[in-house]
Amino acid sequence: MINLRLNYRDGAHIEISGDPGNYTAVFENENTGEEIWRCDIGVGEWAKTYQKYYIPWRISILRDGNKIYQTSLDLNGKRVAVFIESSSLGDNLAWIPYLSEFGNKHNCEIHCVSNLGYLFKDSYSDVTFISFDEYSKNESSYFAKYRIGWFIKENAESNTSLCPNDIRTQPMQKSATDVLGLEYREMRPIINGLDQDRPKKNKVTIGIQSTSQAKYWNNEDGWNKVCEYLIQKGYDVVDIDKDKVFGSPEKWNTIPDLAKDDTGNIPLYDRIKSISESKLFIGLGSGLSWLAWAVGTPVVLISGFSKPYTEPSEGVTRIFNPDVCNGCFNDPSLKIDPSDWMWCPRKKGTPEQFVCTKSITPEMVISELEKLI
């Protein structure tokens, strides 16, 4: 007779107690019947799977080749923790929507650890947003735990123990459905208290700053010419970046002279209000563009750093030049070096450095704006 203690916090974890003997633990995918792993295990010993994302586990215990115990993962009524392992605004907006779907599918109690949970806690009444300390104090009460994040090793390989697919080769939102075992579809998050009927002003908000020069629109004439066009059309153009000037000594980036300066460390809810009353938002592949998409304001997204499939598509007009070097973010052989502000892995030090966005002309952007306006 044996007893099996198990949980699914960062993988399927089992511990055997009871009659001494030589046992074999077999871990299978119940839906497909695929055997994923087996190992020998004795009384007082434990085993844990390499895979830490959701798999519909079926665990069997064999003694002398005979099956003496079998159990399947059942989350019904259980408490499940989901960690959003990124403090980035865009990442949280991308991944939060799928937590509620997972909870409804498995009829389980979802607790989410996220530094931006305050943006969503009233909109997702079936998700409890907690701090890391709250989780740590009550860890044993959680039957399962899953982590959603950027899992890239030092050698630039994807960490397949935490996510089955490489985040760089697919839509960013799909990382969440991969980890949670859900069918992927693009989903907008629901932000607390969002007023979808807020009257629109004759205003266009923009965000020109980012976290690496490769992500910027590196056409020197671009922003001011677009601002000039919009102002001639009668729009106020307002820059809502946190910083008026940002970058490094190698390259400082300043907001356009023709844009109204609303930069500063302003609460996100004020940014949401400003974006939601705008006719358009124009930005980069950054958090403010994800926020505008979440709010429902049409987005014009200028980027060559990432492939168009990376960011959302619904309500987003993508300005991208496929005829030049592009998409270094999505290349699995490359790893971003955050210590190098001028990171451009293929063209650095040549006249074509940042050609992915240098080659995007203001006329290309204005052409798309004319269709939207």
Structure confidence at residue 156 (pLDDT): 87
Structure confidence at residue 172 (pLDDT): 96
Exposure of 88 in the CB half-sphere (CA atoms within 13 A): 18
Q: Which domains does the chain carry?
A: 2-72 (2.60.40), 79-180 (no CATH), 203-372 (3.40.50.2000)
Stated length of the chain = 373
The pair of structure tokens assigned to 364 is 């290309």
Taking each helix axis as running N to C, give the angle between helix 222-232 and helix 362-372, from 0 to 180 degrees, rounded to the nearest 10: 30
Q: What are phi and psi for residue 362, nearest 5 degrees?
A: -60, -30
Q: In terms of Cα–Cα distance, which of 240, 334, 321, 235 is closest to 287? A: 240
Q: In terms of Cα–Cα distance, which of 8, 4, 28, 30 is closest to 18? A: 4
| Beta-bridge partner residues of 5 | 15
The alpha-carbon radius of gyration of the chain (Å, integer) is: 24
Structure confidence at residue 27 (pLDDT): 98
The CA-to-CA distance between both ends of the chain, in Å, stands at 73
Residues known to be catalytic? 91
Exposure of 220 in the CB half-sphere (CA atoms within 13 A): 2
Structure confidence at residue 359 (pLDDT): 98
| Beta-bridge partner residues of 186 | none
107 burial via Cβ count (<10 Å: 0-12, 13-18, 19+): exposed
Q: Please list the alpha-helical segments (H only) found in the chain.
A: 89-95, 97-106, 132-137, 174-180, 222-232, 268-276, 287-295, 355-358, 362-372
Distance of alpha carbon 178 from the chain centroid? 12
Beta strands in the chain (DSSP E): 2-9, 13-18, 22-29, 35-42, 46-48, 57-63, 66-72, 79-85, 109-113, 127-130, 144-149, 203-206, 236-239, 245-248, 251-254, 260-261, 280-283, 299-302, 316-319
Structure confidence at residue 69 (pLDDT): 92
Per-residue pLDDT of the chain (373 residues; tens, 9 = 90+): 778 899 999 999 999 988 888 899 999 999 999 999 999 999 999 999 999 999 999 999 999 888 999 999 999 999 999 999 999 999 999 999 999 999 999 999 999 999 999 999 999 999 999 999 999 999 999 999 999 999 998 888 999 999 999 999 999 999 999 999 999 999 999 999 887 777 899 999 999 999 999 999 999 999 999 999 999 999 999 999 999 999 999 999 999 999 999 999 999 999 999 999 999 999 999 999 999 999 999 999 999 999 999 999 999 999 999 999 999 999 999 988 989 999 999 999 999 999 999 999 999 999 999 999 8
pTM of the model: 0.94
Structure letter (DSSP) for residue 118: G
Structure confidence at residue 197 (pLDDT): 76
